[in-house]
Structure formats: structure tokens, C-alpha cells
Structure 1
Amino acid sequence: MEKKENKLISFIKSYHTDNFKLNDFILIPFILAYFLIVLGNTVGNLIINYPASMIINDTNYDYVAFLSMYASFIGIWIVIFLWCLIPSNRPIFGAVWKKCKGNTLKHLGIGLLIGFVTNGFCILLAVLHKDIYLYFSGANFFALLGIFIAVFIQSSAEELICRGFLYQRIRRGYRHPAVAIIVNALFFGILHLGNPGVSTLAIVSIVVVGICYSVMVYYCDSLWMPMAAHAAWNYTQSIVFGLPNSGLVSKFSLFKLDASTATDSFFYNVGFGVEETIVAVSINVICAILVVVWGVKNKKKPTNIWE
């Protein structure tokens, strides 16, 4: 009997780190992450909706409505900040700030470039294949800047929850990084199940993006990099080119889509945009592989924020 118990303990230790606690069991941080999102959205709506209602009118309705929807994700930042004031949660601050050596302006810039180039390439293929027709709508620098800030708040909040909080909590308890990478990517996909036009391929695409952003955190030791890549991807397709962003369409954008000419293909999905395509999945798989190859070749290892 004692031998069997020793084997069980050895088996458990082979998967878990020495820092593993019962509340690190995958399901617990999974549920907690969802709870923090719900609470954060509630706080964000309370903070943003009232000032938005004071300035919104028929002239600026589309802009203010979209701006406030994205800016309300500031509530998630606030809730995570307050949560991390609890001593046992404070190491999460290290993932967000300078304890991780990759949280630099350089990696922030690389992330922006990756998001813009990968999404822009997907859109270019859809245009060249004549799946979509875009026309110039008009430019307002300050309006575009304001929306960029709001989009960055939204995108970085999702990264904070998925690749900051959830990823790091699971990394604390499990030896192999693949556990944290896959679980937080699946959670990221689940968050989008209620989006308009969602399908199996759309969720697969989002999960792949989640894996891609997770390997950035692991090999580049940077949460800032996927935050920037996520924001640039969303901003490029939604605000620059006016295409659906995970099924959601902004009425404010630099270019507009002639929806009557849009067709489904390997390069574009009418309901969900470029994300729900084999091409987008392939590009993000390639991006993830390149990050892994670079990280392995250069023997990159992430900072253990729990030490």
C-alpha cells in the first residue's frame, strides 16, 4: 500500500511544481479568471458609461459608442490591480511590469509590427482575391488616436487576464509550459463563443492566436509584446480597414467595406472577417513556430515571477 502511495506522489510531482497548491488546480484559476472578467466589465461599465452618456449625441454616436465599449475594459485592469494587492497575488505584477526582461519598448514595437503585418497580409490576400472591396471613408487623426488607446485598453485587458493572470497561475503549479499555454488559449477561445458569426473554425483560429501570444510570453519573456500584437491586429482590421473584428463591426473606420460585394473564401468570411479563415490560422501557426524556433535556438527562458 505504501509503495502505491509513493508511486502516486511521484506521479503527481512529475506534473506539478514544488510551488503547487490546491487552488492551482486548472479549473480553479479558470473559473477565477472568468469571475474577474465579469467583475471587471461591471466596474468598467460603471466608470465609462456615465461620462459617455454626457457627451454622446446624434452626430458622434457611432464614435462614442465604440470608444466607450472598448474603453470599458479598463475595469478589468482595475480589478486585476486590486486583486494583486493581496500579498499572495502580488507576483502577477512582475509579469506586467519590469521583472520580466522582455517588457521593453523594443518588444512593444515588435508586437505592434507583428499585429499590423499579419493582419494586413490577411486583408491584402482577401483584396487581391477580390473577396472584399474597400473604399476610403475619411480621416481624423485625434479620433483615430482616441480609438487606438481604447482598442489597446481592450486588447491588453484580455492579454492581462489570459497571458498574465491565468497563464502565470497555471505556470506556478505545472512543470511543463504547454499546460499553461494550451489552457489559457482554450480559455481565450471560450471568451469568443458568443460573438456574432462564430463557428468552429473561428474558435480554432482564436485558440491558435492564443497559443501564438503565449509562446511570445514564454520565449520573449514579455507580456507587452502580445498586448501590442493583439491591439495592432484588432485596430488594423476594425479601425483602419473597417472589417469585422471577431464578428463585431465598427461603424467608425478609416476605410469602409462594401458589404454587398463581400464573399466567403479561404481568405475571408463574411460574418466573422479574416480571422475565420484557413489563411489566418496558417499565418498565426507560422508566426508561433517562428517564435518557438527563435526561442529554442537562442535558449530563451522566461522569468519565474513566483521566485
Structure 2
Amino acid sequence: MGRYVARRLLQMIPVFIGTTLLIFLMVHSLPGDPVRAMWGDKAADPAQVAQLRHEFGLDLPMWQQYLNYMADLFKGDFGTTFGGRPVLDEMSMAFPVTVRLTLVALTIEIVLGIALGVWAGLKAGRAVDTGVLAFTLIVISIPVFVLGYLAQTLFADTLGWVTPSVQDSMDIGQLMLPGFVLAMLSLAYVARLTRTTVAENRRADYMRTAMAKGLPRGRIVGVHLLRNSLIPVITFLGSDIGALMGGAVVTEGIFNVQGVGNVLFHALGQREGSTIVGIVTVFVLIFLVLNLIVDLLYAVLDPRIRYA
């Protein structure tokens, strides 16, 4: 196990470098001059523009800018915004909100998605199974921003259960509706994936053996069936955590959640390259770590899997 973890950690290094390099080049290759854009429609002083470009290192070759960025990154320095504020301070305020929203969405996704999938899988071919599949297909077909506005109209404007926009991003209760909207697409995929694996494993030999032994139905479903059926679901959930954090950008905009999406939106408008690259770099690290954790969970769910 230790060698496997060490090998995976070493494999993360070129992946991390390649991903951050690609993101850095894409952000800094956008048309326009971000420094000159600070003056808006007013005429900019060429001397001040040159001074600011030198101060932020934008007058250096692209490869040297990337090396300087990576050197600062390994020191814990994500750079500074054009306003002089450290990017790390911006992220330290926004990421806890997005993480909280993601955890709310992930909880809803796991509880409802797996429950619907198991229910449909145990009733495969019946009306319940058809209803769950139809419901998940409808959810998958609706874009997130449409679903968000529908949820606002129904639960806030019509029923008055919640406020249309989040007033306090630190309040878990106010994050329930945006978390539900954020979770809906992934919930549908989890339900369909769980349903497929449960329906398939129900016909396996070990299930017939467990039933022939006279084991309680709860133990057969909870230990034998569900444990083996969750392996592909865990794979999806591991990668989906990062996708939820990235997808929160749209949801945060709809419900006025002051998280990473809000910071990223303003950074894109102002061409704050350091902020954009810094946020995406954190997302890359989250994806890499979660993929490692998911691989290690395989051995927990399935004793037949061993890492040499």
C-alpha cells in the first residue's frame, strides 16, 4: 500500500505541472492588456502602464512568468491582485463558502441519489423503476441555470419557504436551496448508476448464495449487494466533488452566494490572471487528492482488491 501511494504521489507531479502550465498559458494568452484595462475608457499613461507591467512581471517572457509563479506557489504565495490584495486572502474568504455549499450538495446527492438508485434497482422493470428513470432523465435534460430559476420561482416567490437570494453565505440553512439545485444533476447520475449496478448484482451468484443461506434481507442488501454496487458510484462521487465545486460558479451567481464563483466572475471581468490561475490550481490539487482517496477506498469496499 505504501509503495502504491508513493507511486501515485510521484505521478501527480507531472500531471500538476502540465495542468497548471496549460491553465497559465490559456489565461495569459487572452486578448487585451489587463493593466491598460484598469483605466477603463480613460487614456492610460504609458509610463504608469509600463511600471505596473514590470511590477507584476507581465513584461517578462511567458516561460519566465510561469517559472516565477511556480516558485512563488511552492512558497505558499499565490500572487497579488491588481489592487494589491494577496490572492490567498481572497481565496481564504471564498473557498470555505464554496466548500460548505459543496458539502450540502454532496450530502443531498449521496442520500437521495443512492436511495433512489437502490429502490429502482430492487424494483427493476416495475413502475417504480420506470418512474425513477424518467425523473432522472428530466433532471439531466434541464440546464442548471434553468433549474435554479425554477427553484427560486417555486420555493421562494410562490411558496415563500426561502429567500430568493442568500443573505448570509455562512448560514447552512440558506445554502440548502442552492445546494439542492447544485446537486440535482449529479443526483440523477448517481441514481441511474446505482440502479444499474444494483440490478446487475442482484443476479450474481453470491447473492443467490446469501439468500440460500437464509440471511436476513437487510444484511443481504446492506452488506452484500450495496457494498459491491457502490464501487462505481464511489468512483463517480470522488471526481464529482471537484465538479460540484466548479459547477458552483453558476449556482453561486444565481443565488448570490459569496464563494469562489463570485470571486472568479469578478476576476474574469477584470482579467486578474493571478486570481484565476490560483483558484484553478487549487481545483487541480483537489481533483488529484480526491482521485487518490477514491482509489484507496476500492480496497475498503472490495476485499479482493489489493495494491502491491
State if a TM-score over 0.5 links the two structures: no
Q: Counting helix residues as a fraction of each chain, which structure ranks higher?
A: 2
Return the TM-score normalized by structure 2.
0.30
Q: Which has the larger radius of gyration?
A: 2
